[in-house]
Chain A
Amino acid sequence: KQEVTQIPAALSVPEGENLVLNCSFTDSAIYNLQWFRQDPGKGLTSLLLIQSSQREQTSGRLNASLDKSSGRSTLYIAASQPGDSATYLCAVRPQSFGNEKLTFGTGTRLTIIP
């Protein structure tokens, strides 16, 4: 059974710093990995999707990397801003054909201190 872990559970950093969020998964047979952002009381917003054949994806100040063989992904946020404060979740989709079942991590709650 796939297990997805995100450590730390919470992180506080001063505004302007670069930071890295971690995601690890136990079964490397994945089709893709997705990073989401969740604001309090809101739904999830997709940030980046990395296919299993890719090593990284970038969107603005965000860069996500994937090392499938070691079961790890990182989300790098450059020049953090107070508006980046949210919970960040990663989710993996299994490799089996047609299986759309995402397994989510428990998230990292990020606070950017002005």
Chain B
Amino acid sequence: DAGVIQSPRHEVTEMGQEVTLRCKPISGHDYLFWYRQTMMRGLELLIYFNNNVPIDDSGMPEDRFSAKMPNASFSTLKIQPSEPRDSAVYFCASKAWDRGNTEAFFGQGTRLTVV
């Protein structure tokens, strides 16, 4: 397996524009996570899915953020409208369920810059 695949790797957009980040988890994994990493706040969980169903979205900062997982092999994180404070590295991760003690595998991340 190629691991967790995220696209694009880099995104530069103007304030107010819509941004869509994409993630393909590892095949067979039951969980998918979206994280955001900044210098100020470190790594924060935004939302996670189990079997394509959102389980906890308490980390989603505002209504401008939304995430979907239409099938087991694809997820999107959308920001509309984007703001400069959304600039960060966004990571997607996936893991299999094995009574909970399994490791999460991370993608390479998408570096988002909102100008």
Task: Mark A residues whose CB is within 8 Å of B.
Answer: 31-32, 34, 36, 42-46, 49, 51, 89, 91, 93, 98-107
Contacts and interface: CB of A to CB of B under 8 A. Distances in A.
A100 B107 contact: no
B108 A43 contact: yes
A46 B100 contact: no
A42 B109 CA distance: 7
Contacts of B42: 104-107
Contact of A51 (B93, B101, B108): B101
A101 B56 contact: yes
Contacts, number: 52
A100 B109 CA distance: 20
Contact of B101 (A49, A105, A106): A49
List 6 A-B pairs, minimum CB-CB distance, nearest first. A43-B106, A104-B43, A46-B103, A44-B106, A106-B42, A43-B108
Please classify the interface of chain A as helix (H, G, I), strand (E, B), loop, or mixed, using the class held by over half of its residues. strand
A84 to B, nearest CB: 19
Given A44-B91, A100-B48, A89 B43 contact: yes
A56 to B, nearest CB: 15
Contacts of A102: 33, 45, 104
Nearest to A53: B101
Given A43-B106, A46-B105, 5 more contacts: A44-B93, A46-B104, A51-B101, A100-B56, A107-B42
A31 B102 CA distance: 11
Nearest to A34: B103
A93 B95 CA distance: 13
B49 to A, nearest CB: 10
A32 B104 CA distance: 12
A104 B42 CA distance: 8
A105 B106 CA distance: 16
Nearest to A103: B45
Contacts of A89: 43
Interface string B45-63: 1001010000110000000
